[in-house]
A = this chain, B = another copy of it.
Amino acid sequence: MNEKFFDLKKEKQDRMINGAMKVFALNGYARASTDEMVKEAGVSKGLWFHYFDNKIGLYTFVVDYAVKYVMMELSAGLSAENTDFFDTTLDIEKVKMLVRRSYPYVPLFLSSLDQETSQEAIDAVGEYIEMYREKIRTAYSSVDRSGFAPYVDERIFDMTVSFTMKGILEEEYAKEAFDERSYMGRVKVFLSQMKKMSQEAPVEEA
C-alpha cells in the first residue's frame, strides 16, 4: 500500500475503510465489488488503486487495520485484574461495541474472516488473524477457572461460548439495522446461563 493514505483527511480515510469493510464483510473477498465500495465511500475508483495496489492489497490493509484497532482497544479496555471468565468475555464484547461506533462493520468483518473461502484471501491475512486470536487467548490466560465443575473441559467450553457468540453476532447483523442493546442483551442472557451451567454445584451446607 501507499503510506500517503494516512495523509488523507481522517474522515476520508474512515469512509474508505468503512466502505471496504462493509462490502467485504457482507460479500466475502471474492464477491466484494469495487463499484460497491465506490458508492459506499463516495470516493473514485482510481483512488482505491492509487493507495492500495489491488484488491488483495486493500483486503490485507483492512484486515490489518481492523485487527490492530481492536487489539489496541482490547489492551485499553481489559483490566488485567479481571479474573472472571464471564466478566472477561463481556468486556471483550463491550470493546467490540465501542469499536463499532467508529467502524460499524469491524465486529462482523472479523467474524466473517472465519468463513472466508477464497484461498488467496486466506493466505494473505492468516498471520493477522492469528495475532488477534493470540490476543484473545492472552486475555483469557489469567482467568481463574477454579469455580468450574470438574467435568467442564476448558477448550470445549470456550469453543461453545465462542461459536455461540459468533452466531448471535451474525444474526444481529443480519437484521435491518444492528441494535446494540438487543445484541448485548442476548449476550448477557447467554453468558448468564452458561455461568450457572458451568459452576460447581454449590456445596450443600451441612
Contact = CB atoms under 8 A, between A and B. Distances in A.
Contacts of A162: 167
A144 to B, nearest CB: 19
Contact of A115 (B152, B156, B170): B170
Interface in A93-133: 114-115, 117
Contacts of A160: 160, 164, 190, 193-194
Interface residues of A, number: 32
Interface string A158-184: 011011101110100000000000000
A26 B157 contact: no
B164 A159 contact: yes
A198 interface: yes
Given A149-B197, A162-B167, 8 more contacts: A115-B170, A153-B193, A159-B167, A159-B168, A160-B164, A163-B164, A163-B166, A164-B164
A196 interface: yes
Contacts of A163: 163-164, 166-168
A194 B160 CA distance: 9
A197 B17 CA distance: 43
A151 interface: yes
Dominant SS among interface residues on chain A: helix
A196 B153 contact: no
A19 interface: no
A8 interface: no
B115 A197 contact: no
A10 interface: no
A80 interface: no
A190 B156 contact: yes
Contacts of A197: 149, 151-152, 197-198
**Which of A114, A115, A151, A160 is packed against the most chain B CB atoms within 10 Å?**
A160
12 contacts: A26-B117, A30-B31, A31-B31, A153-B193, A159-B164, A160-B193, A160-B194, A163-B163, A163-B167, A164-B164, A201-B201, A204-B204
